[in-house]
Amino acid sequence: MTPVEATLEILESNRDASLQRLFDLLRIQSVSTDPAFKDECNKCADWLVADLTSIGFEASVRQTPGHPMVVAHLDSSRADAPHVLFYGHYDVQPVDPLELWEANPFEPRVASVDGEDAIIARGASDDKGQLMTFVEACRAYVANGGLPCHVTILFEGEEECGSSSLPGFLAANREELKADFALVCDTNMWDSNTPAITAMLRGLVFEEVTIKAASRDLHSGLFGGPAANPIRILTVVLGRLHDENGRVTLPGFYDGVDELPDDIAAQWRALPFDGSAYLGSVDLSVPAGETGRSVLEQMWARPTCEINGIVGGYTGEGAKTVLPAEASAKVSFRVVGKQDPKKIASSFRQFIEANLPNDCTAAFISHGASPAIQLPFESTALNQARQALGEEWGKETVIVGSGGSIPIIGELKSNLDIDSLMIGFALEGDKIHSPNEKYNVSSFFGGQRSWVRVLAALAS
Amino acid sequence: MTPVEATLEILESNRDASLQRLFDLLRIQSVSTDPAFKDECNKCADWLVADLTSIGFEASVRQTPGHPMVVAHLDSSRADAPHVLFYGHYDVQPVDPLELWEANPFEPRVASVDGEDAIIARGASDDKGQLMTFVEACRAYVANGGLPCHVTILFEGEEECGSSSLPGFLAANREELKADFALVCDTNMWDSNTPAITAMLRGLVFEEVTIKAASRDLHSGLFGGPAANPIRILTVVLGRLHDENGRVTLPGFYDGVDELPDDIAAQWRALPFDGSAYLGSVDLSVPAGETGRSVLEQMWARPTCEINGIVGGYTGEGAKTVLPAEASAKVSFRVVGKQDPKKIASSFRQFIEANLPNDCTAAFISHGASPAIQLPFESTALNQARQALGEEWGKETVIVGSGGSIPIIGELKSNLDIDSLMIGFALEGDKIHSPNEKYNVSSFFGGQRSWVRVLAALAS
């Protein structure tokens, strides 16, 4: 029997006990955003430290300006083993509206949901169930003689309320937290039978522009015609940001945007994903992005420019014949690959300035500029994990992207300079942040087994 | 001595008395918008009836759902004389902020303002001083034997609060009020030495459009790319409403827009009007309308399309990565000449519909569609009045336009089917609606003399 097989066997014999441990953790009401639950957050951190210590980790609660962090270390006996940093968060979303829960959100239970057994409680999926899959895998490894990798664990208590202590904590503990790469368990499987690794997250550049013309609002009868209208100018300029094929017209915008590798492109094409059904869920039907790109590509692998807000002039009921003094818009760019956020912000501002008529000025505010996260497709760790997950689930692991950002990934990159493997076992239907949040029993046990295989693969 | 000369002489000998009569009228606090002044409005109507009766008019107060109208008739002894309807309004604006008045706004006085004697009181210019110029001219004619035209007078008491009783009153008294044309005394001279007739008012088509895409607001990370963004579509479509020369691109938009007659165009070019200074007053410098048109042309004689309001998505502080379900804009068109407001509204709606991508719908609300007022430049009455005013002031009468509408003109046209000659003696600096409203003494006496000449010319 290989060490992996032996460890998986230990997991199997401890299913009930691992479920009871997760239930204990779920009973702690660690709602981070509400100060009334501060003691519960502390209690939750203490519980985790105790549990990790019981496994053999050197674990401690670390105070922050907000809720505490939990940090734990346990080395492999093999000195040259890779070092992984596992990230999860123990805080949960508030439970309101409470009346929509079928039972007490902090009294976990197993029930059948859509024909599958699921653990139902606040935090079952996001993120207590997910983080415990890794803890249980470590516990089984230790019971079988030791970990295949050096492991550092970081559990955050403020993920659901803005992670305000996280960047400072990472920066202040850079040496202690340094690892070869991070494992982040806060994402989904492709479906309940198909594992997935999230390898690409789009970055975000967010700009606000205000176009100003006259020194005061004007009457459109007296001044309409000769006076510049900043709303009109805003629509003209913003209306030029895309060409007829949906491509962004800013000079240099596509610098650093690579085509997908053939195998990933082929995998995405073969996925049982119905773009029309996805859009149909919000009463749309036609992909509105770049011509010739699938919905998945448009969401995961292609950059965008969107206007997220616009306002100017009179916006109440009825009519007012005003020519406003100014108009403004919030414009964001989802960036991919090696696109340079600062260059894009700068290109946007230059584009606006270059398209302004006389008498108009533009003022800008930056609301952030973060790059895309792109795990190299040829990364050894990625391919080891991909292989291991495939073996556990008996299906090819899907390499997916995410259209939005996951802040921790960028923080780990910028503060610790390490890449993250985003592997999670949650499902689209888990109702995270909503009433009756659930985590499939198959996610919980399959997740534990997956980590046993992934840790072994990473150490091979 | 001609009848005109004799009548002018009578006016001259009655200057003091006419000023005292105006002062009596100005002392009545006929603020129409504030119910506390209802009795004062009635008192003002009674005063006018008494004064007109004393001249010889058959005058009466006519009740309406709001403040009363004053209607008066006096025929010329010449049966075939033309019949004119004179319109003015006896109600005035509120006086607040009272602390900015240099004296009691209802205690009229004559004082020097910028080197010119002026009557200072609420309503001195708008519109009691103006309407009394006509009454005094009639009084002098009667003293000299009779009126050269049949005259009907209509004084309204709700012009400053929405004229809500006016359309119904005109419609209900169509036969009694019918005339060959109307004289409306509520406009300005070109400057204190140069008379003006307003011969063109732009009309207004006001549309609101809402573009809808997804059935709910979306996250721009999850849906940005494949999902249609109604703000983006709105900017693209609205951005296409003008070409690079500032012309409106709606098909058929310029149907019914004529070039100015050569003599009017030449007069406008020769006017001492500094377009840059006009724009400079609101910190603009470059005419933003159609290329190759002067500021005056752009304001008075050319149609426009303006966006008066736009809103969509997140418009608060900071950033929100939303793709909104809808976005909307208020779009108005100033129309001139024979442009058809209904065709323009319809053309706008078709243009939007034709430019919508799949998955998007547009909903429209009309906030009105009124045609331009354009007195035919070849009109006999216009040219008679133009000549008469020129003789009185010793300067060529300027034929001017107005970029905005004057509701009474449209009401007279639609209810009584008569054109209006807009002749007034107010000045740009009269501070109407503001503290220390004034009416130059030269406007008051020159206005009386002007009407003597105009009535004679119209009857010639």
Can you give the CATH number for the domain in which B431 is found? 3.40.630.10
The DSSP call for residue A145 is T
Determine contact: A187 vs chain B, CB below 8 A: no
Supply the CATH number for residue A213's domain.
Answer: 3.30.70.360
Instruction: Return the pLDDT at B404.
Output: 86
Inter-chain CB proximity A334 and B218 less than 8 Å = no
Q: How far apart are CA B415 and CA A295, in angstroms?
A: 59
How close does chain B come to A231, measured CA to CA in Å? 6
Residue A232 in tokens = 């009109």
Cα separation, A287 vs A280, whole angstroms: 11
Cβ of B320 within 8 Å of Cβ of A310? The answer is no
Which of B331, B351, B370 is a domain's end point?
B370
Residue B222, burial from CB neighbour count under 10 angstroms (0-12, 13-18, 19+):
middle
Contact A288, B214 (CB under 8 A): no
Nearest one of B427, B374, B378, B376 to B405, comparing CA atoms: B374
Question: Is residue A324 predicted with pLDDT exceeding 90?
Answer: yes
pLDDT value for B407: 85
Mean pLDDT to the nearest integer, A396-407? 91
Looking at residue B36, the DSSP 8-state letter turns out to be G
In a domain, B398, yes or no: yes
Our CA-based measurement puts residue B316 at a distance from the nearest CA of chain A, in whole angstroms, of: 9
pLDDT category of residue B222 using cuts at 50, 70 and 90: confident
Do residues B135 and B231 both lie within one domain?
no
Give the confidence band of A159 by pLDDT, cuts at 50, 70, 90.
very high
Q: Which residue of B has its CA nearest to A314?
A: B309
Query: What is the amino acid identity at position A430?
Result: D
Inter-chain residue contact B231 with A308, CB threshold 8 Å? yes
Chain A residues with CB under 8 Å of B215 CB are 282-283
| Residue B283: inside a domain | no
Contacts of B235 in chain A (CB under 8 A): 234-236, 238-239, 307, 310
CB A212 within 8 A of CB A360: yes
Q: Do B125 and B36 lie in a common domain?
A: yes
Domain end, chosen from B370, B398, B419, is at B370
pLDDT at A126: 95
Residue A280 lies inside a defined structural domain of this protein: no
* Predicted confidence (pLDDT) at residue A330 exceeds the cutoff of 90: yes
A334 vs B220, B234, B288: nearest CB: B220
CB within 8 Å: A306 and B229: yes
B370, B402, B421: which is the final residue of a domain? B370
Q: How confident is the model at residue B80 (pLDDT cuts 50, 70, 90)?
A: very high
Choose the closest CB to A319 out of B226, B285, B367: B367
Question: Cα A301 to chain center, whole Å?
Answer: 15
B334 and B430 housed in the same domain: no
Within-domain flag for B279: no
Alpha-carbon gap: A245 to the closest alpha carbon of chain B (Å): 12
Q: How many CB atoms lie within 10 A of CB A327?
A: 24
Q: Is A230 on the interface with B (CB under 8 A)?
A: no
Q: Are residues A365 and A383 in the same domain?
A: no
Kindly indicate the confidence band of residue A404, based on its pLDDT and cuts at 50, 70 and 90.
confident
Q: Helices A15-27 and A38-55, interaxial angle, to 10°?
A: 160
On whether any CB of chain B is under 8 Å from the CB of A292, the answer is no
Q: Is A451 a domain residue? A: yes
Same domain, A67 and A187: yes
Q: Are residues A128 and A40 in the same domain?
A: yes
Q: Is the pLDDT of residue A346 over 90?
A: yes
pLDDT band of A169, cuts 50, 70, 90 = very high
A354 touches chain B (CB under 8 A): no
Alpha-carbon gap: B362 to the closest alpha carbon of chain A (Å): 15
**A314 CA to chain B: closest CA distance, Å?**
5
The shortest CB-CB distance from A334 to any of B218, B221, B283 is to B221
Indicate yes or no: CB of A214 within 8 angstroms of CB of B308: no
Indicate whether B378 belongs to any domain.
yes
Number of domains in chain A: 2
Q: Which residue in A198, A235, A358, A365 has the most chain B C-beta atoms within 10 A of its own C-beta, making it the best mutation to test that interface?
A: A235
Residues A211, A195 share a domain: no
Q: What is the pLDDT of residue B92?
A: 96
Q: What is the mean pLDDT of residues A180-203?
A: 96
pLDDT band at A195 (very low <50, low <70, confident <90, very high): very high
A287 occurs within a structural domain:
no
Residue A44 pLDDT > 90? yes
Residue A90 banded pLDDT, cuts 50, 70, 90: very high
Banded pLDDT at A366 (limits 50, 70, 90)? very high
Q: Is the pLDDT of residue A445 over 90?
A: yes
Judge contact between A304 and B224, C-beta under 8 A: yes
Q: Which residues of B touch A231 (CB under 8 A)?
A: 307-310, 329
Is B347 in the same domain as B382?
no
pLDDT, one tens digit per residue, over A116-136 is 999 999 999 999 999 999 999
Residues in chain A with CB shorter than 8 Å from the CB of B280 are: none
Chain B residues 329-348 with a CB less than 8 Å from chain A = 329-330, 332, 334
Q: What is the mean pLDDT of residues A96-109?
A: 95
pLDDT in tens, A241-294: 999 999 999 999 999 999 999 999 999 999 999 999 999 999 999 999 999 999
Query: Using one digit for the tens of pLDDT, what is the confidence trace for B7-18?
Result: 999 999 999 999
Residue-averaged pLDDT of chain A: 96
**Residues A219 and A328 both lie in one domain:** yes
Looking at the domain assignment, is residue B280 inside a domain?
Answer: no
Nearest CA in chain B to A244: B236
Whether residues A70 and A219 fall in one domain: no
pLDDT score for A441:
98
Q: Specify whether B334 is located in the same domain as B404.
A: no
Is residue B221 pLDDT above 90, yes or no? no
A130 interface with B at CB cutoff 8 Å: no
- C-alpha distance from B125 to closest chain A C-alpha (Å): 20
Q: What is the mean pLDDT of chain B?
A: 96
| Closest CB from A226, A238, A289 relative to B235 | A238
Which pLDDT score, from 0 to 100, does residue B405 have?
A: 82
B173: exposed, middle or buried (Cβ count in 10 Å: 0-12, 13-18, 19+): middle
Same domain, A408 and A366: no
Q: Scanning every residue of chain A, which has its alpha carbon at the shortest distance from the alpha carbon of B369?
A: A319
pLDDT band at B265 (very low <50, low <70, confident <90, very high): very high
Q: Is a pLDDT exceeding 90 seen at residue A222?
A: no
C-beta neighbour count of B164 within 10 angstroms: 12
Is A308's CB within 8 Å of B320's CB?
Answer: yes
Which structural domain, as residue segments, surrounds residue A187? 3-201+373-459
